[in-house]
Amino acid sequence: MFQDRYMLAFRLYPYARSVDQDADAPVRHPVVVMGGGPIGIAAALDLGLQGIPVVVLDDHEGVGMGSRAICFAKRTLEIADRYGCALPMLDKGIVWNVGKVFHQDRKIFEFDLLPEDGHKFPAFINLQQPYFEQFLIERVREAQARGAPIEIRGKNRVDGVEAHDDHVTLEVMTPDGPYRLEADWLIGCDGANSPLRNMLGYDFGGKVFRDSFLIADIRMKADFPTERWFWFDPPHVGGASTLLHRQPDDTWRVDFQIGWEVDRKEEMKEENIRRRLDSMLGEGVDYDIVWSSIYTFQCKRMERFRHGRVIFAGDAAHQVSPFGARGANSGIQDVDNLGWKLALVIGGHAPESLLDSYDAERVHGADENILNSTRSTDFITPKSEISRIFRDAVLDLAEQHAFARPLVNSGRLSVPCVYDGSALNTPDGLADGPARTRPGAACPDAPAGGGYLLERLGGGFTLMTIDAEAPASIEENGIVATRLALDTASDPDGVLRARYLGDASAAVYLIRPDQHVAARWPAFDDNAVRAALRRALGRE
């Protein structure tokens, strides 16, 4: 139902016959990605930019219709910046940092998700998923033109999979008929209803919440500010809760809580959607409905994300309720975690067991998301009268008292996962360092060298020194950690000090290719750094 660029962009990778279809025997590829949505394309881009040949198989020919995911978090933009496609997303997206919470007809409070300076990207942008996917695909095309070994095959539907100890065999259906191919590694990015997961018979356990939500994306001219507005028990007749977000192209996302015992077919009729919208927006507001859908809250995940040579990512591995914007954002973090590890394993620089850390770290991330989403769901949709009384009391207190505001939960918004307890972490050696940059944490951005710190991290291991001496590089098992030397003399506002030194006078950080801290110390120690690098490679 989307028009303009959405319709023009739909067939971004139309079907074309591949040489594999004419081969006498199945062709073996290093990596095959199943699913051409945003997570699958990001996985291909991550690996292809590292020189790893990858083939994407998708049963469609381009971006999906309907906006679906719209909130993309700061961490996702930082990862996309490493891929080289964040700036077009930022230019097109609607930037926001402020959210407001209402109870009935009263504003309870507002919050700022990024109250500090010194970051390249905002807390969030709102951007319809088709645009997000398109910018990824355009970056793939640029990378292909420069020799990146990425291939996207549209109208290639996977109908069968056989997993072996050292490879995976796939049965693929095309408009020209079936063919077979093989993959050293198969990454499943084929969504919440994952055919791959179902073909292999893996469980997808969790909870479905007994409630329904109606999404309506509408195009209109309006003077609402660019903020996230959430109503508990709104005064309009829209639903038990309502969410309003602005998107590009004069498009607005409205999300109504409509209850479990509803006739979905009846609710999806245009006149009934308009009845809710008219009650919320007021009579006489001119708008067009460009997309609508009904969904339920679900919090599920696979028991394990890695099964030998088959690895799952994104909604195929885990699913959370949309309040909090933890779906697509956590899927991009999956790719960010997996890409460098799989590349090192394929290149022979790390043992295959390094991939078990992907499973451990991203299962930890999924559990964190599910916990937060479940708590949000319980607060938004109380399951008993006592729960509702408690929730409403919290909302009343929050209007006047700051201490109660952290208890209000309209969706804990996506932030990067900290891999506390990861086997790749070296115990913290910087006793006076800030907690936010402890081992396992994603590096927060900061001004550095006339630009931003994260622009200088990623793509390999980094030995970052702050007011400390160290050699230009350290090499272990063919992997080089290159020094990035920083000093507080060029940090007049103290941002770098606050985020990375704390009360310490100097620091040395070992940072992973995905910009997570592997280890840190007050000074350089050759043996300690080498041991930490081996540990981050899964060799200790």
DSSP-derived secondary structure for 14-40: -----GGGG-SSPEEEEEEEE--SHHH
Long-range contact set of residues 104-112: C-beta below 8 Å, sequence gap at least 24 = 104/231, 104/232, 104/233, 104/234, 104/235, 105/235, 106/399, 108/395, 108/398, 108/399, 108/405, 108/408, 109/398, 109/399, 109/402, 109/405, 109/408, 110/227, 111/405
- Pinpoint the residues of the chain covered by CATH 3.40.30.120: 435-536
Is the full-model pTM beyond 0.85?
yes
Query: Do 323 and 307 touch, CB atoms closer than 8 A?
Result: no
Query: Do 312 and 194 touch, CB atoms closer than 8 A?
Result: yes
Average pLDDT score, the chain: 91
pLDDT in the model for residue 1: 36
pLDDT in the model for residue 11: 66
Q: If we measure between CA atoms, which residue out of 450, 470, 477 comes closest to residue 510?
A: 470
- Pinpoint the residues of the chain covered by CATH 3.50.50.60: 5-94+125-205+301-365
- CATH number of this structure's domain 5-94+125-205+301-365: 3.50.50.60
Low-confidence ranges of the chain (pLDDT < 70): 1-11, 64-67, 238-239, 323-324, 412, 414
pLDDT in the model for residue 5: 40
DSSP state letter for 192: T
Q: Which two tokens stand for residue 381?
A: 């949709």
- CATH number of this structure's domain 435-536: 3.40.30.120
Give the C-alpha separation, 60 to 157, whole Å. 8
pLDDT in the model for residue 324: 62
